[in-house]
Amino acid sequence: MEKDHKQVWDNCLRIIKDNISPASFKTWFTPIVPVKLDRNVLTIQVPSQFFYEWLEEHYVLLLKKTIKKELGVDGHLEYQVVMDNSFHNSSPYTVRMPGANRKSTENDPVSIPLNLNADGISKDIPNPFVIPGLKKIKINSQLNDNYSFENFIEGECNRLARSAGYAISENPGKTAFNPFFIYSNAGLGKTHLSQAIGLQIKNNFPDKTVLYVTADNFMLQFTEAVRNHSQNDFIGFYQMIDVLIIDDIQFLSGKAKTQDIFFHIFNHMHQLSKQIILTSDKPPVELGGIEQRLLSRFKWGLAADLSMPDLETKIAILKSKIYNNGIEIPDEVVEYLAMSITTNIRELEGGLNSLIAHSLLNKKPISLELAKRLIDKLVISTAKEISIDYIQKVVCDYFQIPVDVLNSRTRKRQIVQARQLAMFFAKEHTSASLASIGLHCGNKDHATVLHACKTVNNLIETDRQFKGFFEDIEKRIKL
């Protein structure tokens, strides 16, 4: 008696149901629709590409066993993936994908062609940087032309990273440096180098699509995609990119859903030899709150650090900036600046800018005496850079609670008040947007951050103990 595709899949579901939790079964197997059975190949329909990838990643062994049990050792599974075509107000279409226990052939698609529709015509993909959607050829790289290799001074502090970056720009995606992971403390040139690579690739390969995005923006875009039920479009947009640069990847820490989406985008790009460039304030081994499967992938290519430049390199950086501004400054002043500011390149350039501005506004020549007067004040008054992560650490240390508890969903009064204080201080002491603060504080929205700020202001006026907490924490943040 010939087997029916529905009967075969029902038999498979009975086995699967006994081997996974009810919640997982309901989420990942209830939406599946059996389509047909052709000899020993069972075809099932799943609602999205993400769905297909999740099944193949998490349940491939279970699917293999059940298919083998029902259809024999030669049994195979294929998927039909439903693709959203809502931009054209037309019906969804499907794409065939190889599944569990089936070897891909040369003719099989390597991945879902999200930029094609059922007729093989270019499909509009929504661009999260510009609304409404734009076609691939119109994607803005979000790169700053000032961050070029010509403006990036090489020294012992950055020679390995710069050389690797230049090699990538000559052959993106084809070197051993994929992904390229750049890490350093703030203000030492991570953003500059990563964008320099992107700019050089654009010059060398005009047909390649290069995109620079901060981790904060990536998270905000994903949150918006979830809210609008357009995750497939979000994935589709990023899978079209040839060179993806994500700045400050450490901000994905603790964001499980965003990490999961990035994992699939990363895999898709790496399989197709597309270049991935990441920056962070820590090396991969020190990143907390990042899933192990992502950390292992960060180590596939090259991790290179940028350290504080030596005196010679700092002088070269200052002279390059002075030359680009078309001004003249005595060598003794340049050397004094380089020796006095030892924090990072950003503050080194800031000191030079302050000196130039003071000279122009007061119509005084730039002298060593003027430099000493201004720079001494700058060095004395320079406080450590205050970030959302730093504020959270201060608040958590004060109340003796872990950061992950602060960002959890618990409604315990002490935790809620600590979270509200962290939001308030982040708004007061950083330039981050309300949405960005919310994402860092337990994935809250901007309205929650506003409410937290109002609550803190009210409690300062009405609760003497809370006011004491507030004043103590503020002193510690400013230390």
The per-residue pLDDT for range 326-359, each reduced to its tens digit, is 778 888 888 888 877 777 788 888 888 888 888 7
402: left (phi over 0), alpha (psi -120 to 50) or beta: beta
Do 315 and 293 share a structural domain?
A: no
Give the CATH number for residue 354.
Answer: 1.10.8.60
Of 235, 224, 154, 134, the C-alpha closest to 196 is 154
145 falls within a domain = no
Q: For the segment 160-198, what is each residue's pLDDT rounded down to a tens digit?
A: 899 999 999 999 998 889 999 999 888 888 999 999 999
- The DSSP output letter for 316 is H
CA dist 291 and 256 (Å) reads 8
Of 34, 41, 32, the C-alpha closest to 5 is 34
90 falls within a domain = yes
Please measure the distance between the N-terminal and C-terminal CA atoms of the chain and give it in whole angstroms.
Answer: 80
Question: How many other C-beta atoms are found inside a 10 Å radius of the C-beta of residue 408?
Answer: 15
Backbone angles phi, psi at 407, to 5 degrees: -95, 10
Do 249 and 174 share a structural domain?
A: yes
Is a pLDDT exceeding 50 seen at residue 108?
no
Q: What does the block give as tokens for 330?
A: 């005595």
413 falls within a domain = yes
Q: For the segment 277-302, what is each residue's pLDDT rounded down to a tens digit?
A: 999 988 888 888 898 989 989 988 88
Q: For the segment 412-435, what is each residue's pLDDT rounded down to a tens digit?
A: 888 999 999 999 998 888 877 788
What mean pLDDT comes out for the span 232-253? 90
- Burial (CB < 10 A; 0-12, 13-18, 19+), residue 206, is exposed
Torsion sign across C-alpha atoms 290, 291, 296, 300: negative
Segments in 251-344 forming alpha helices (H): 256-271, 292-298, 311-325, 331-340
Q: For the segment 86-100, what is each residue's pLDDT rounded down to a tens digit?
A: 333 334 444 454 555
Looking at residue 384, its pLDDT comes to: 47
Q: How far is CA 306 from CA 154, 165, 168, 309, 387, in A?
A: 11, 12, 17, 8, 20
- Burial (CB < 10 A; 0-12, 13-18, 19+), residue 186, is middle
Give me the residues paired with residue 244 across strands: 211, 276
Give the CATH number for residue 51.
Answer: 3.30.300.180
Q: Which of 272, 305, 338 is the last residue of a domain?
A: 305
Q: Is the peptide bond before 132 cis (omega within 30 degrees of 0)?
A: yes
Looking at residue 332, its pLDDT comes to: 84
Domains: count for the chain? 4
- Burial (CB < 10 A; 0-12, 13-18, 19+), residue 123, is buried
Looking at residue 99, its pLDDT comes to: 55
What mean pLDDT comes out for the span 5-11? 89
Do 177 and 290 share a structural domain?
A: yes
Return the residue matching tokens 């004043």: 471
Do 168 and 248 share a structural domain?
A: yes
Do 285 and 170 share a structural domain?
A: yes
Do 89 and 213 share a structural domain?
A: no
Looking at residue 378, its pLDDT comes to: 62
pTM of the complete model: 0.53
Q: For the segment 12-46, what is each residue's pLDDT rounded down to a tens digit?
A: 898 888 888 887 788 888 889 998 888 888 888 88
Q: What does the block give as tokens for 454?
A: 């109002």
Looking at residue 114, its pLDDT comes to: 35
10 falls within a domain = yes
138 falls within a domain = no
227 falls within a domain = yes
CA dist 316 and 296 (Å) reads 37
Do 444 and 357 share a structural domain?
A: no
Looking at residue 169, its pLDDT comes to: 93
Backbone angles phi, psi at 305, to 5 degrees: -105, 155
CA dist 334 and 341 (Å) reads 11
Looking at residue 106, its pLDDT comes to: 37
Contact 400, 448 (CB under 8 A): no
What's the domain range around 362?
311-381
Q: Which residue has the higher pLDDT, 263 or 103?
A: 263
pLDDT grade for 109, boundaries at 50, 70 and 90: very low
Q: Which of 62, 77, 98 is the last residue of a domain?
A: 98
Looking at residue 126, its pLDDT comes to: 58
Contact residues for 426 (Cβ-Cβ < 8 A; gap 6+): 388, 391, 432, 437, 440, 441
Do 255 and 165 share a structural domain?
A: yes
Do 456 and 332 share a structural domain?
A: no
Q: Which of 260, 275, 305 is the last residue of a domain?
A: 305
CA dist 317 and 346 (Å) reads 11
Segments in 43-145 forming alpha helices (H): 49-58, 60-71
- The DSSP output letter for 189 is S
Do 262 and 188 share a structural domain?
A: yes
Looking at residue 180, its pLDDT comes to: 94
Do 327 and 297 share a structural domain?
A: no
Give the CATH number for residue 290.
Answer: 3.40.50.300
